[in-house]
Amino acid sequence: MNLRLAGIGMTSARTRGRLIERLRAEGIVDETVLAAMYEIPRHIFIDEALATRAYDDVSLPIGHGQTISQPYIVARMTEVLRNGKQLGRVLEIGTGCGYQAAVLSKVAKEVYSVERIQPLYERARKTLRELKIYNTNLRYADGTTGLPDAAPYDGIIMACAAPALSAALREQLAVGGRMVLPMGTQEQHLHLIERDEDGFRETRLEAVKFVPLVMGKA
């Protein structure tokens, strides 16, 4: 057994189980999402020096001015995106360390994820390979306009805050699809975008704090 994957002490399966119970207590009810969160070892996505905090419900630094989102936010966004249904093709903007993509890989048939910072992209690819997750397709690219060559998507999730929703990204959402993203500058909220035959419907959800969406590759 790979001890790094299995975890010992503060990164053990028991510790992971306590996180799942906290997520339930905070209102996450989708058992498919909770099972995915339990299965993915969050400690291997962060620096070893922070491993003892891996299953705390907090965001943590991953370098390059970026963070791994707190588990509640990952679970909440995934739950809203799923809406109790099996997902087909999903797009994530902002791979970061790859944790959200790994969780999505357990609830979607196919995951595309875009990262603009090359060292993070390379690290995420390596970690996902180590976990033997093969239904994710990572791209090193500017994600501000989405990833049109693989569109349309049943779900789109954004791990960085945009000042407003871009029309280009919105049009990559399939009819019947859902998009979850943080929007705002000084104050940020999660927004749910739903597309049906008649057009788009937008719902503002809870307040959040994400790093800003940035154009270009780094």
| Per-residue pLDDT reduced to its tens digit, 6-61 | 554 455 778 889 999 999 999 999 999 999 999 999 999 998 888 888 999 899 98
- For range 103-108, the mean pLDDT: 98
User: Using 50, 70 and 90 to split pLDDT, how confident is the model at 95?
Assistant: very high
* Choice between 3 and 63, residue whose per-residue pLDDT is larger: 63
Question: Would the pLDDT of 218 be above 60?
Answer: no
Query: Which of these is catalytic: 69, 105, 113, 166?
Result: 69
**SS3 letters across 159-170:** CCEECCCCHHHH
Distance in angstroms between the alpha carbons of the first and the last residue of the chain: 36
Kindly report the average pLDDT of the chain as a whole number. Answer: 90
- Exposed, middle or buried by CB within 10 Å (0-12, 13-18, 19+), for 37? buried
Question: Would the pLDDT of 66 be above 90?
Answer: no
Q: What is the reported pLDDT for 162?
A: 87
Q: What is the percentage of the chain residues whose pLDDT exceeds 70?
A: 93
Retrieve residue 29's tokens: 């009810």
Is residue 59 part of the annotated active site? The answer reads: no
* CA 126/CA 209 separation, integer angstroms: 27
Angle between helices 13-25 and 71-82 (to 10 degrees): 60
Q: Which fold has domain 65-208?
A: Rossmann fold (3.40.50)
User: Using 50, 70 and 90 to split pLDDT, how confident is the model at 3?
Assistant: very low
Task: Report if pTM > 0.85.
Answer: yes
